[in-house]
Structure 1
Amino acid sequence: HPFYDRDEVHEIYRDWRKILDSYRPPRMAVAEAWVNPSSRRALYARPDELGQAFNFEYLQGGWDAEELRQIITDSLDTARAAGASATWVLSNHDVVRHTSRLMLPPGTDDNAWLLSGGHAPAVDEAAGLRRARAATLLMLALPGSSYVYQGEELGLPEVADLPFEVLQDPIWEQTGRVRKGRDGCRVPLPWTTTGPSYGFGAGGSWLPQPSGFAAYAVEAQDGVEGSTLELYRRALRLRRKLLEGEDLTWAPDAPPGVLHFARSAGWRCVANLSGTPVQLPPGEVLLASGPLEGGLLGADTTVWLA
Structure 2
Amino acid sequence: MFYLLNILIQMKIILNNSILRKTLGPFNDIGFVPTMGGIHEGHISLIEKSIKSNKKTLVSIFVNPKQFNDIKDFKSYPSNIKNDLTILKKIKKLDFIYIPKFKDIYEDKKKSQIKIKRKDKILCAKYRIGHFEGVLDVMNRLTTLIKPKKIFMGKKDFQQLYLVKNFIEKKFNIKVIGCKTVRNKNKLALSSRNLLFNKQELNEVEKISKTFLNLRNKTKSINNINRFLQKLKKDLERFFNIKIEYLENRNIKNLTISNKYLKSKIFVSYYYKGIRLIDNF
* TM-score > 0.5 by shorter chain: no
**Larger Cα Rg: Structure 1 or Structure 2?**
1
Q: As a proportion of its length, which structure holds more strand?
A: 2
TM-score by length of 1: 0.28
Q: As a proportion of its length, which structure holds more helix?
A: 2
